[in-house]
A and B are shown apart, each in its own frame.
Chain A
Amino acid sequence: MEIIKTEQLVKTYADHGVPVHALRGINLSIERGEFIAIAGPSGSGKTTLLNCIGALDRPTTGRVCVNEQDIDLLDNSERARLRLHKMGFVFQAYNLIPVLTALENIEFKMMLLGKSEGERHELAMRSMKELGIADLAHKKPQDMSGGQQQRVAIARAIVNEPPIVLADEPTANLDTENALILIDLMREMGRTKNVTFVFSTHDPRVLERVQRIIFLRDGNIADP
């Protein structure tokens, strides 16, 4: 089942008045449950593509469909709702809320979803256990290592079992051992929960473990 589709996706933005062609007509189809890496050198358009798929940025031309719905037709509030219910996000710099504990960071997303306090706690703890970080529940981000923070970020992304998780360079700040552990965890979560993981990377160690690689060069899909 096709969950993400892009048609002639073009994104051009101005950098100090100079047009930058970040994406030059991307056609892409991603099935539910796939574990996909978007690879390519810096500036190739990886993050822009993820942002467009994730309803964070609007394409200049072309279409992005999620579950066969053209997301460019949605207003900002509907796009926020789509992100909340259908997507999870993992960022390179973890981006946990520093004043909340690991558990509260995960519960925060459940609060946005309108879950009751009891349900929030139960689902957040279950998610942490699945990622082997239950012992970090009451620690704040500054008291955790990078690898631990990124696991919490993944727990936050998948706690409501969205069909899509988008991760922008999730292993870039991690050492090799932690990077591979994290990729294995993401793949396992994707397999067991039928979640589509799409992440950007240029780490060759990570690329060895994915189902499919979409290689970008200068805003176009290219052969690796």
Chain B
Amino acid sequence: MTILFKLAWRNLWRNRRRSLIILVAIVVGVVSLLFIEGLVNGQLKQLLENQIGTHIGHLQIHAKGFQDDRTIQHLIPDKKRVESALRSLPEVVAYSPRIISFGLVSSASASSGVTMLGVDPLLESRVSMIAHSMTSGEYLAGEPRSIVIGERMAEKLGVEVGDKIVLMASALDGHVGSDAFRVTGLFKTPDSEFDRSYVQVGMESAQSMLGVSDSVSEFAVVLQSADMAAAVKSSVGSALGESYEVFTYGELIPMMIMMIEVTRESMGIYYVIIGLATIFGIINVLLMAVFERIREFGVVMAMGMRSAQVFRLILLEAFLLGVLGAAAGVLVGLLVFWPVSIQGLDLGASAEAMSSIGMGSIIYPFLTWADILKNILFVPVVSLLAAVYPAWKATRLEPVRAIRYV
């Protein structure tokens, strides 16, 4: 350990109480940043996973033009070719073919606009969370003309499991196809809008009602990781050719992706606020430390210590303060954070509002190594910035006057 380091370290503890107060302030700042960062991470992850898990998937494959004109007429030209392409890719974990149409669902007492998804129950259960979100009854069990609907829609229609409802939607030939379905189950996802507007029926029942024989409108695909979406899109697109269109989840829900980006970037505001508070705290402490040691600086400058070395000494003191504060802050932050990240943070009071934007009421905050590293680096850097002014003040001292300072 060099003398300069020893000097800087011991200078930190000359006024123990003052150093401890600023350290506590830094720790509180770091813990707050970690907590906010973790909470935002948890919220955004849940938001995205819920969107992907309810119906989006990581990729969607349609016939060309479907995304702009989501009608029953845009059917996948060759279902088997798509299945073959997807099976050949190791990144693909699961896929589900769907027939999609838009129409009206009616009970004896009410009716509502609806997006109808005709699905293969087994394949769909590997892609979306609906099968695992049943709150009563059961998921599509293979019986013809069975339907699962969201709890919200059931409330709106005034129906329960076992009741009959009538579904009407545009058929391939331009007429309105309709059929009666028995509600076999109700689901509740974290996205109340989805629960209010989507229903799932068996593939054959849907195809029969819409007159599309064995055709489908969409393949929803789940990959090993969301990060693979762009690469797999490219592979699938090349394999299928121009009669198809392939979209990543980012292209399917661009507003949400933008919102996530904006939210992440807005974290910078917290860093600025806490950074400024830390800077002023450290400036205050270091200025007091410099004024208390004017005579000492005069002596070492008289001995031959150059202004640049005095400057570095004060920066080193600030840096040590920052490193100590960051280390303590991250340690305390993780200790506080760890149980919350496991048990989750129940935001029950805001459950309704959160559900409307596709989030559950329990958030599981999490931190990445990058977040922790960012905080470990942030405070020492801020401390160094804060030390510039007091260090500059010290270098302006004239040894001949500083020595006589009382």
Residues on A facing B (Cβ under 8 Å): 51, 54, 56-57, 76-77, 80-85, 87, 89, 91, 95, 97-100, 104, 107-109, 111-113, 117, 120, 156
- Contact residues in A for B399 (Cβ distance below 8 Å): 56
Q: Is the CB of A85 within 8 A of B304?
A: yes
- Min CB–CB distance A46 → chain B (angstroms): 14
How far is A61 from B306 in the complex, measured between Cα atoms in Å?
25
* Of the residues B299, B304, B403, contact of A112 by C-beta under 8 Å: B304
Q: Is the interface of A mostly helix, strand, loop or mixed?
A: helix
| A57→B323 CA distance, assembly (Å) | 39
Distance of A59 from chain B, by nearest CB (Å): 12
B4 within 8 A of A: yes
Overall SS of chain B's interface? helix
Q: Can you give 15 contacting A-B residue pairs, CB < 8 Å? A: A56-B400, A56-B403, A76-B307, A80-B306, A80-B307, A89-B303, A95-B403, A97-B7, A100-B3, A100-B6, A104-B7, A108-B3, A109-B304, A111-B3, A112-B300
> B400 to A51, Cβ gap below 8 A?
yes
Interchain CB contact under 8 A, A91 and B400: no
Q: Is the CB of A77 within 8 A of B10?
A: no
Choose from A77, A81, A104 the contact partner of B6 (Cβ within 8 Å). A104
Q: Mask for B263-306, Cβ within 8 A of A = 1, else 0? A: 00000000000000000000000000000000110011111111
Residues of A within 8 A of B7 (CB): 97, 99-100, 104, 108
Residues from chain B with a CB closer than 8 A to the CB of A104 are 3, 6-7
Nearest CB of chain A from residue B398's CB, rounded to whole Å: 8
Kindly state the separation between the CA atoms of A104 and B9 in the bound complex, as whole angstroms. Answer: 14
Interface residue tally of chain B, by bracket? 20 to 34
Contacting residues, chain B, for A120 (C-beta < 8 A) = 3
A2 to B205, CA, bound (A): 114
Which of chain A's residues has its CB closest to B306's CB?
A: A80
Smallest Cβ-Cβ distance to B9: which chain A residue:
A99
- Binary flags per residue of B303-338, CB closer than 8 Å to A gives 1, else 0: 111110100000000000000000000000000000
Minimum CB–CB distance for B406 against chain A, Å: 10
Tell whether B2 is near chain A: CB-to-CB under 8 Å. Answer: yes
Residues in B neighbouring A76, C-beta threshold 8 A: 307
Q: Does B67 contact A (CB under 8 A)?
A: no
Report the minimum CB–CB distance from B320 to chain A (whole Å). 13
Pairwise interchain contact A95-B4, C-beta atoms closer than 8 A? no
Q: Which of B341-398 contact A (CB under 8 A)?
A: none
Which of A80, A107, A117 is within 8 Å of B304, CB to CB? A80
B304 and A99 within 8 A (CB): no
Which residues on the B side are within 8 Å of A109 (C-beta)? Answer: 303-304
6 cross-chain pairs, A with B, having the tightest CB-CB distances, nearest first = A84-B304, A99-B10, A56-B400, A95-B299, A83-B304, A57-B400
Given known contacts A80-B305, A80-B306, A107-B3, A91 and B11 CB-to-CB distance under 8 angstroms:
no
Q: Which residue of A lies closest to B1 (CB)?
A: A117
Residues of B within 8 A of A111 (CB): 2-4
Is B302 a contact partner of A112 (Cβ separation < 8 A)? no
Q: Which residue of B lies closest to A85 (CB)?
A: B304
Nearest-CB distance from A80 to chain B (Å)? 5
CA distance A33 to B2 in the complex (A): 34
Within the complex, which residue of A85, A89, A113 is in contact with B302, where a contact is CB–CB below 8 Å? A89
Residues in B with CB closer than 8 Å to A100 are 3, 6-7, 10
Q: How far is the CB of A209 from chain B (nearest CB, A)?
A: 26
Q: How far is the CB of A54 from chain B (nearest CB, A)?
A: 7
- Distance A54 CA – B403 CA, assembled complex (angstroms): 13
Cβ proximity bits B2-30 to A, threshold 8 Å, 1 near / 0 not: 11101100110010000000000000000
